[in-house]
Amino acid sequence: MGALIWLASYPKSGNTWVRSFLHNLLRNTEQPADINSLNQFCLGSSSRRWFEQVSPVPLEQLKPEALARLRPAAQAKMTTVSPDSIFVKSHNHLGAWFGVPLHNMQVTAGAIYILRNPLDVVPSFAGHLGMSIDDTIGFMSTDGAGTKLTAKHVPEVYDSWSAHVASWTGAKSGQLFVVRYEDLVERPEESFGAMARFLGLNPDNERLERAIRNSSFDVLRSQEREHGFKEKPAHAESFFREGRAGQWRERLSEEQIIRILSDHREQMARFGYVPEGY
């Protein structure tokens, strides 16, 4: 059995980009890896199939607290797919749901946590959810916010954006690599290179640069246009939107900016996200 390496983030913070980079880095081919094969490289912590394998009854028959109790066994089941380390995507906060840990540390080797300026998360997440900007701001400040059981996924428990960030970054650990989305945008070789070294990989410059190039937003958007992307919500126009930092300046009103800062100033200040003058 292997052990799990969590690729964790609040939604719309760069998780899919990081997964694509790592897929291209490990695959190491001239042509970009297919975005629709990401699930073959990285498991999803919210995928129903792991819970169905350890549940005595159909998941719809379970109350939320009973569903929560399945999580440690479901995650232990994930370790059986490979004798090596196994990447698992997670949007859950680092905490518990109905008293049961959302991440089984008994089968965990480490984690990469990606965070993004909430001012930029809001417009991206709004499009993903099919919600208004104002409703998305409210959702991101809601304690215990998350999703429900669906045909493909078990509930995810995000908590508020601030609580999510604090849960993953509150205590330093040698088994945790924290990276800002903005640093991946502005200093890709340095930031993705540090990520690779954290994982014990030491790619030469050519291999690193090729993986970065093959997972660029231009490439990801092009693949989605040509072949679609199965992780895109049905109501969303596209999954890969702009991918740039600072789009909030064009998308948010002054009142909306102030609301977000009021909700999340402490964690935003920790990571340099409070704009000058605010």
Per-residue pLDDT tens digits for 54-107: 999 999 999 999 999 999 999 999 999 999 999 999 999 999 999 999 999 999
What residue type is 196 in one-letter code? Answer: A
* Cβ–Cβ under 8 Å, residues 1 and 109: no
Beta-strand relationship, 86-90 and 4-9: parallel
Partner residues linked to 112 by β-bridges: 7, 177
pTM: 0.92
Residue 276: inside a domain: no
* pLDDT for the residue 167: 98
* Cβ–Cβ under 8 Å, residues 109 and 90: no
Comparing 68 with 41, the larger pLDDT belongs to 68
Residue 99: inside a domain: yes
Measured in residues, the chain has a length of 278
Output the average pLDDT for the chain. Answer: 91
Q: Which two three-digit tokens encode residue 236? A: 């969303």
Work out the burial of residue 172: count CB atoms within 10 Å of its CB; fewer than 13 is exposed, 13-18 middle, 19 or more buried. exposed
* pLDDT for the residue 240: 45
Residue 255: inside a domain: yes
Residue 277: inside a domain: no
Dihedral sign from CA coordinates of 250, 253, 258, 259: negative
CATH number of the domain residue 123 falls in: 3.40.50.300
* Cβ–Cβ under 8 Å, residues 133 and 256: yes
Residue 12: inside a domain: yes
Rg over CA atoms, the chain? 18
What residue type is 116 in one-letter code? Answer: R
* pLDDT for the residue 232: 44
Residue 26: inside a domain: yes
What is the average per-residue pLDDT within 25-37? 80
What is the extent of the structural domain holding 164?
4-270
What is the average per-residue pLDDT within 123-138? 94
Helix (H, G, I), strand (E, B) or coil at 206: helix
* pLDDT for the residue 254: 97
pLDDT 10s digits, 181-237: 999 999 999 999 999 999 999 899 999 999 999 888 777 776 667 555 544 444 545
* pLDDT for the residue 245: 75
Dihedral sign from CA coordinates of 79, 84, 85, 87: negative
pLDDT 10s digits, 141-185: 999 999 999 999 999 999 999 999 999 999 888 999 999 999 999
- Count up the domains in the chain and report the number: 1
Residue 117: inside a domain: yes
* pLDDT for the residue 231: 45
Q: Tell me, what DSSP letter sits at residue 204?
A: -
Going from the C-alpha of 214 to that of each of 39, 150, 221, 251, the distances in angstroms are: 17, 32, 11, 29
* pLDDT for the residue 123: 94
Residue 278: inside a domain: no
* Cβ–Cβ under 8 Å, residues 261 and 268: yes
Which residues, other chains included, contact 194 with Cβ-Cβ below 8 Å and sequence gap of 6+? Answer: 177, 179
